Structure 1
Amino acid sequence: MDQEILTSIDTRIDDAYLLTYKSLAEAEKLVEICLDDSEQNEYFAGTINAKILLTLISVQKGESDLVRDKLSRIEEELKSFSSDDSQMRLAHVRGLYFLKDGVYRDSFDSFVKAGNLAARLGNQLFQALSANGKGFIKLGQREFQDSHHYFNAAKTFQLDLPPSIFNSVLSVNLACSLNGLNRDDEAFLLLEAALKYAQEEHAEILECSILDEMAQIHMKNNRLKEARVPLKKGLDLSKRLVHSEIRAELVYHYAALLLREGEYDAAEDFIQKFGMESKMGIQKSMFHKIAADIYEQKGEFQKALASHKIVNEIHERVGFSQSVHSVLMQEKRELQDQNHRLSLMSIIGQELVANLDIGKILDLIYTQLNVLMPVDLLSVAMVNEDEIDVKFSIKEGERLQPFVIHKENQDSILAWSVRNDKEIFMRSIYEESNLYAKGFIPAVFKGVSRMESVICLPLRYLDQIVGVLTVQCNKKNSYTTEDLENLRALATYAGIALRNARQTERMSELNEDLRRQSSQDSLTGLATRREFARQSSNIWRICRRNSFWISIIMIDLDHFKEVNDTHGHASGDEVLKKFGDELNHYFKRPLDCAARYGGEELLILAGDICPREAAMRVELLREEISSFEFESDKGKFTVNFSCGIIGEVPKLESDAGIAKLTDFADRYLYEAKNNGRNCTYLSDQADQAAKKFIISHTK
């Protein structure tokens, strides 16, 4: 191997790491080239490091499922290749992955491991990257002194390097921590230097971030007029970039500025205009967050609730702005300092609303409520028409099995609360239950010890009951009216959360139906032409990279028009469905894709098999199909098919290569039809004539 080539690959991979701070698309393009070069030169270290960097790019894109698969495959490959350099890079990616998911402990441990390996290797870049990651964790936790320490350390590792986009990012991060420490003058000096570099390098996304941070420092110090200037400039710049996340932050902060100045109508007009241009989920979320604040200021509480609901219909997006989250949390703390108990309820409520899976935060509610009041049993039920679905219950830290109660059940206090849309407050359930239930059954929850004190609250979304919240304690007189007030505050959030969870569930089902309809032929269950184009491009790329054979198979049912004319279209549909089932059975590997190409024409792309192997499968399929008897009012019948197959080890790009082979497969199909039908013609080279496939030839 040429050492100069290998060194060039290593250098370009590190360049691609830094390029991720400017453009993920450019970084991905560069690392794909490095991956191809590494594989061509059989340079395993370059190959594995390029794959690790592609995983990092997937982390930045928010492709969580893909990241998990990539990490598993990389770890498997590393079992046969021990390298501190690759382990360092992998630990850094893991740190970012956990950071995006808010798993701070695991993220911090991963950055520590990456930093230690970088120190052992003398790799200053990854020492800086690891310190920067730890700083981000502390910034998200509002531990500004620690974040300042780590950002400063990251900056130190880069002191002997020329100015770069990464250096400027570190300066902005350092300024954020200084802002949190109220060292505004120092923060401004860093921001001004970074702004100058960003403008010189035309790094407009970075420039927008800097302008936004400058505005936040002005707003914190009540310099509202000064804050307008960078915000307006950033808004103009971000509009030109159409960069959703940074634009959403700028819009949010400008609307917040208008609110601070008492310009409620102007703020509303501004975000309405922004809402018209918004298409991304992050933008929509930010839009409705500030909309809710505006409506609350104007006293339009129904609209505020509606905006809160929309915010939480949006799926949580990886990489959501930490700075915006911090500002929101700080504002809420300032407003709620006078009442700790209501503050805690508000925080619980926010967590409840922010998560679309109520089950995941049941433990949090249970733990936090026990700080305020004794809770031996907590349940959250959903009301669905005539049924009360008690999905989430927890007793003494353990989940209980869900169960369902009919709304007309006269023996259930939950049903009474829902039917009458009224709260229940009992100091002793055994002494007071007769007020709500005719024949109260103590063991409502199986395996739960006797409960005494009970509070039961209907959960509403607007004017509709969507659920019911219950807390219980095994001692009498455990709850006070103050506890009831606290739970009322939580009930508002819980009602929104239940509504959001239900709508998200329905939306997921609809999205899955739409995805299936767009990717799967409804009759045969095979891929549609659009889905075939998507899958075949990926399979082609894998085969091209690994020098695998790829075969394209075109099948046409013989005399299918006669089947429809004689036996009816229902019988024709049955034939096509049978073919679809069989094709999905015979071509079901990860590198196979079978599609309905049109009418009775079926198209298969099979990776890592040559044309003769593909033909053998087709002949097995032919034997299966020919043995099957179809039946209609006109009698029984069988069907046959003709087939054309072409294959090669791909050299061209996917679009051109697939189109070329599909054209040849189609020609060979018609050659089969013109030579008696019910047979297969194939070739393994496009410049050679196709021959009729006979099984005995392969023996």
Structure 2
Amino acid sequence: MNKLQIDKLNRKAFDIIYSDIEKAAALTEQAVLLAADLNYTIGIAWGQLNSGLVDMERGQLVESLEKLKQAQHIFNKIGTDFRANAAVLNSLGLVNIRLGKMKQAFIHLQESLEYCEIYSLKSMEYTAMNYLGILQYKSGRYNQALRFFQNSIKLKTEDKTVNVLNNLGCTYRALGQNEKALEFLNKALYQAGEEGMMDARIAILEEQGLTYGQMNDYKQGILKLQSALDICAGSNRRQRPDLYIHIAEQYLKLKDYHMAEDNLQNADELISDSNRVSHREIYLLLSQLEEFKGNAPGALAQYKRYQQLTDLMKSEDLEENLWLLETEQLRKTNTRVAAISKMGQELTAFLERREILNTLSRSFFNLFSIDVCVIGEIPDGDDCLHVDLYTSPEEMSTLDSLEIKNPREVISWVAGNNSGLLINDIEKEIGRYISSYDKNLLALSVSSVLCLPFETGYGRGAIGIYSSQKNKFNDEDRDFMEMLCSFAAIALNNAFQAETIRTKNRELTMLNRYDTLTGIYNRNHILSVMEQGWKQCRRTASFIHIMLLDADHFKKINDTWGHDAGDECLKMIGTVLRDNLQRSSDSYGRYGGEEFLLSLQDLTVDEALAQAERIRDTIENFSVTIGSKTIRLSVSIGVCSIIPGFEDKSVLNDIIKAADNCMYRAKEEGRNLVRSVILKGLR
């Protein structure tokens, strides 16, 4: 596999990421491995870019952002692949949009536009313009979004414009221009059909159904939504509950309660326990359905189920006012619940602890208009609270650990007692809980505090929100905060588990590729790498040099000094090989026992033999110290050089055998020698 073929794999993966993610992921993995074996920097960078985009489409946004930043660093260092620089800026823009970091997304996309204008990269300029439109749409600035989408269509000349057309349709619907929305959605649907883009067709049909519903043409809306559902049959399980719910909403408008109920039940069956909270609106619709049917107890039961999922059950007062859902206060509550649910979805999508904590603090600032947010954690086996203090959504500082056995601050008391506190006049109320309260401990000037504990699979902690206003918080605030704490606990536990899995995967990779004693390649991996080198040398008709290195009198070292001494000698050989073989085309590993296998390329026979002599000489002049004793070591090296021909790769065993014979010849002639042979391949 040469560099051009790696480039081809990366280009193919980049082009199909949004239409066939699994194939794109497979191509990316193949390209990354091959580029790493060849130490092909541009191939590695494109692999990181594609891998980041695959992670983004799979919802792994934190991992995606990290890989895209790594790709950007490499491309900036290379400085010659202008298309790649624009592609990575666009990708950083999109992942930041999905992370909710609109300002950062805007900076990346504006930089991409400037870059594209300088280097006339029309295709990348189109993508940047499209993503800027999405950014404006997500921010609720629909007129600005329209302008960006319209400009992006003007730039597109070759590829289809399905995504932009769909985005335009969504935007016009948000603006209430339904006829215009349908015009663009119809064009998008036609192009998606021409391209065989099934996932895109589902999204467009869903948007058409919602648009017809907004126009009060519920029958047509149901037809469109049902068509999307038909395409989903047997796959796309993630989208099916939402489609059933949308269909039920429109049947309710038609007062066809039987069909509405059937679709809601279908949705309920598809919703797993893990995402039931995110689909809790289904129980509001079931409550509305039962109310329309005159079944007040049934309506109440469904609404209670909704409240249980959102931790907002309010006892008798709520039940008595059940039918006041349209009052202003309850509309505000529902809006707040929706915001918390969205925040919960964002939190549980993250798999990196710091990202979770930063997002959590922003959520508290946005929901409660507070002055300070404090988040503390107690890992298992620890007796101190480790605290992060946020004085704004963007400003965080890490404080000294707080004692929980003798608490002097609200959050340490809550964490230690695993019980929440709601205090609206700290000077009057704090004495009930903390006898030695230190108001300067967190350097805060506060009057009201709401602080709750949480637990994760690896420890526990507490979250506190502080305000300088008296009587700032109430019981409803506490309920909302409990919801966010629950989401935070789930997200932090997920992040801990993900990091544990990543660590184990890294360990497994090390075990699979590396020798645990010497830290260099093990037998299986050096043979695999050598096979790749063989193929490359066959393509370029150049020498590959296979060497077998064996420690002299190694059994005597073990018998005399012990196996620990023998292990230290093997480690020393591994160190010498690392120090002397630092080119990307040099490969080496422990072949077994005291034998080491080396594979060198891009050298003449004389250069390869000179390298073998340097290694032999370096080891001869090294010494291993065990206690007060010094051990000297020498090695015998056999070298087989060949220009690979059309032989089957199984001939590698014969070449290793030839190197082995040379090594034994070196042993027979006195050890501490290099002996070699040149073979001819079949050309």
TM-score between the two structures when normalised by the length of structure 1: 0.67
1:105 partnered with 2:106: yes
SS in 2 for 1:408: coil
SS in 1 for 2:401: strand
| 47-56 or 497-506: bigger deviation | 47-56
Aligned to 2:436: 439
User: Conserved in 1, the CA contact under 8 Å of 2:172 and 2:181?
Assistant: yes
Aligned to 2:149: 151
Aligned to 2:86: 91
The alpha carbon displacement at 1:214 in A equals 0.5
- Paired with 1:100 and 1:404, the residues of 2 have a C-alpha distance of 34
- Paired with 1:674 and 1:593, the residues of 2 have a C-alpha distance of 24
Aligned to 1:313: none
Task: Select which of 376, 389, 402 maps to 2:385.
Answer: 389
Aligned to 1:322: none
Aligned to 2:316: none
- Paired with 2:617 and 2:644, the residues of 1 have a C-alpha distance of 30
1:355 partnered with 2:350: yes
Aligned to 2:204: 213
User: Conserved in 2, the CA contact under 8 Å of 1:427 and 1:454?
Assistant: yes
TM-superposition CA deviations, 1:85-121 (whole Å, max 9, x none):
x646633542233223334212330343255347xx5
The alpha carbon displacement at 1:673 in A equals 1.1
- Paired with 1:27 and 1:372, the residues of 2 have a C-alpha distance of 38
- Paired with 2:415 and 2:652, the residues of 1 have a C-alpha distance of 65
User: Conserved in 2, the CA contact under 8 Å of 1:132 and 1:150?
Assistant: yes
- Paired with 1:579 and 1:303, the residues of 2 have a C-alpha distance of 65
Aligned to 2:490: 496
SS in 1 for 2:85: helix
| 367-376 or 429-438: bigger deviation | 367-376
- Paired with 2:584 and 2:440, the residues of 1 have a C-alpha distance of 51
- Paired with 1:302 and 1:584, the residues of 2 have a C-alpha distance of 63
1:603 partnered with 2:594: no
- Paired with 1:403 and 1:596, the residues of 2 have a C-alpha distance of 47
Q: CA RMSD in A?
A: 5.2
User: Conserved in 1, the CA contact under 8 Å of 2:551 and 2:595?
Assistant: yes
Corresponding letter in the other structure for 2:227: P
Aligned to 1:425: 422
SS in 2 for 1:231: helix
1:289 partnered with 2:275: yes
User: Conserved in 2, the CA contact under 8 Å of 1:550 and 1:650?
Assistant: yes
5 Å-filtered alignment, 1:596-675, equals 596-606=590-600, 610=604, 612-626=606-620, 627-629=622-624, 638-646=632-640, 663-675=654-666
1:100–1:597 Cα change, 3 Å: farther
SS in 2 for 1:517: helix
Aligned to 1:137: 135
Alignment length (residue pairs): 593
- Paired with 1:132 and 1:140, the residues of 2 have a C-alpha distance of 13
- Paired with 2:186 and 2:95, the residues of 1 have a C-alpha distance of 28
Task: Select which of 510, 522, 528 maps to 1:516.
Answer: 510
Aligned to 2:519: 525
TM-superposition CA deviations, 1:391-433 (whole Å, max 9, x none):
4223466433343345433555444323432222334545544
SS in 2 for 1:595: strand
1:401 partnered with 2:392: no
- Paired with 2:44 and 2:507, the residues of 1 have a C-alpha distance of 33
- Paired with 1:13 and 1:494, the residues of 2 have a C-alpha distance of 37
User: Conserved in 1, the CA contact under 8 Å of 2:644 and 2:681?
Assistant: no
1:193–1:434 Cα change, 3 Å: closer
Corresponding letter in the other structure for 2:655: F
- Paired with 2:86 and 2:601, the residues of 1 have a C-alpha distance of 33
The alpha carbon displacement at 1:509 in A equals 2.9
The alpha carbon displacement at 1:142 in A equals 5.1
1:29–1:460 Cα change, 3 Å: closer
User: Conserved in 2, the CA contact under 8 Å of 1:255 and 1:290?
Assistant: no
User: Conserved in 2, the CA contact under 8 Å of 1:456 and 1:468?
Assistant: yes
TM-superposition CA deviations, 1:590-617 (whole Å, max 9, x none):
5544322334332334555555545445
1:207–1:594 Cα change, 3 Å: same
SS in 2 for 1:470: strand
User: Conserved in 1, the CA contact under 8 Å of 2:201 and 2:228?
Assistant: no
The alpha carbon displacement at 1:14 in A equals 10
5 Å-filtered alignment, 1:42-441, equals 57=50, 60-62=53-55, 67-78=68-79, 87=82, 90-102=85-97, 103-114=104-115, 116-117=117-118, 125=123, 128-141=126-139, 143-158=141-156, 166-181=160-175, 195=189, 199=193, 203-204=195-196, 206-218=197-209, 221=213, 225-227=222-224, 229-236=226-233, 239=235, 247=236, 249-251=238-240, 253-254=242-243, 256=245, 261-262=260-261, 266-267=266-267, 269-270=269-270, 288-289=274-275, 293=279, 297=283, 337-338=332-333, 348-360=343-355, 366=361, 369-370=364-365, 375-385=370-380, 386-395=382-391, 398-409=395-406, 411=408, 413-429=410-426, 431-441=428-438
1:560–1:488 Cα change, 3 Å: same
User: Conserved in 2, the CA contact under 8 Å of 1:271 and 1:291?
Assistant: no
The alpha carbon displacement at 1:522 in A equals 1.9
The alpha carbon displacement at 1:525 in A equals 1.4
Aligned to 1:471: 465
Aligned to 2:325: none
SS in 1 for 2:454: strand
1:111–1:528 Cα change, 3 Å: same
TM-score between the two structures when normalised by the length of structure 2: 0.68
Corresponding letter in the other structure for 1:671: C
The alpha carbon displacement at 1:493 in A equals 2.7
The alpha carbon displacement at 1:624 in A equals 4.4
User: Conserved in 1, the CA contact under 8 Å of 2:420 and 2:452?
Assistant: yes
SS in 2 for 1:681: strand
The alpha carbon displacement at 1:668 in A equals 1.7
Aligned to 2:453: 458
User: Conserved in 1, the CA contact under 8 Å of 2:619 and 2:633?
Assistant: yes
User: Conserved in 2, the CA contact under 8 Å of 1:215 and 1:226?
Assistant: no
- Paired with 1:26 and 1:366, the residues of 2 have a C-alpha distance of 36
SS in 1 for 2:549: strand
1:649–1:144 Cα change, 3 Å: farther
User: Conserved in 2, the CA contact under 8 Å of 1:646 and 1:661?
Assistant: no
- Paired with 1:292 and 1:98, the residues of 2 have a C-alpha distance of 26
1:436–1:640 Cα change, 3 Å: same
TM-superposition CA deviations, 1:47-103 (whole Å, max 9, x none):
99999987864554446666545544444444xx7xxxx646633542233223334
- Paired with 1:219 and 1:115, the residues of 2 have a C-alpha distance of 36
The alpha carbon displacement at 1:516 in A equals 2.7
- Paired with 2:542 and 2:192, the residues of 1 have a C-alpha distance of 46
1:549–1:498 Cα change, 3 Å: same
Corresponding letter in the other structure for 2:386: V
Corresponding letter in the other structure for 1:681: R
- Paired with 1:344 and 1:225, the residues of 2 have a C-alpha distance of 28
1:111–1:351 Cα change, 3 Å: same
Task: Select which of 567, 583, 586 maps to 2:580.
Answer: 586
TM-superposition CA deviations, 1:486-545 (whole Å, max 9, x none):
534433333333333433343333333333333322222122345546766888899999
TM-superposition CA deviations, 1:555-579 (whole Å, max 9, x none):
2334545655676655544443333
Q: Percent identity?
A: 20
- Paired with 2:72 and 2:357, the residues of 1 have a C-alpha distance of 30
The alpha carbon displacement at 1:338 in A equals 4.7
Aligned to 2:675: 681
Aligned to 1:39: none
User: Conserved in 1, the CA contact under 8 Å of 2:12 and 2:24?
Assistant: no
